Copies of this chain bind each other. A is one copy, B any other.
Amino acid sequence: MKMVTFLYPGMTTLDLVGPHEVLSRLPDANVIRVAETAGPVVTDTGLQLVADAAISDVDSADILLMPGGTNTWPLLGNDKVLDWVRKIDAGSQWTTSVCTGSLVYAAAGLLSGHQATTHWATLDVLREYGAEPVSNRVVVSGRYVSAAGVSAGIDMGLTLAARIAGDDFAQLLQLAIEYDPQPPFDAGSPDKVPHLKDAVIQLLSPPG
C-alpha cells in the first residue's frame, strides 16, 4: 500500500503527522513524502520536514494525503501542483485531506458535487469550487476522505485505517497511540466558543 503525502512551505505539521502516525503503521505501508522539490520544507511553526522525492518523481499512489494550513492559498493557483494532484488522484484508491488540504482538491476540480470538509473557518471556500461543505469531523464521499481542522486528521486516519485493515486493527493502532483524548477544555469547535472565532481567524491569517 503506497501512501504519498505532499509537503509545502507553511503547511501545518499536525495535519500531516496525525494521519501519518496511524496510516504508516498499516501492514505493508510504504510512505513517500514529496514536495515540489526534494529536501527540507519549513512548516508554519518552523519545524523542518524532509521531502523524500520531488513530485516529478512520483506518478501514482494508493493513498494521497494533502495537509492544510494557513499557507495553502498559493497552491490553489499552482498549475504544476494541481496537474500532479489530478494525475495521482486518477489512480488512487483514497484521496485524503486534512484541514484546508481539501481546498487543493477542490481547486483541482476533483470535488465537484462531492461532500467535503475543511477547517471550520474556510468551509465557504469549498462551495466556491463546487463542492458541498459539511461541518463534520470526517467526511467520506466516494474515494474522497476529508477531515476538519488540524487535529481531525487523527480521527480521519483511524477511520481510513478501519476501511483498509478492519476495525480490530484500527483499534489496535488507537491503543498503540493511546488516543483516549481528554482535552482540558471543551473549546474545540466554533459552536462551543463562538466568542473566540474572530480571534482565531486573526491568529490564522497569513501575514500581510
Contacts and interface: CB of A to CB of B under 8 A. Distances in A.
B24 A20 contact: no
A21 B150 contact: yes
Interface stretch (A73-81, A101-109, A154-162): A154-162
A45 to B, nearest CB: 4
A54 to B, nearest CB: 15
Interface residues on A, range: 35 or more
Given A24-B47, A159-B184, A175-B200, 9 more contacts: A20-B45, A47-B50, A48-B49, A48-B50, A48-B52, A149-B176, A168-B196, A174-B187, A175-B196
A86 interface: no
A111 to B, nearest CB: 20
A91 interface: no
A144 interface: no
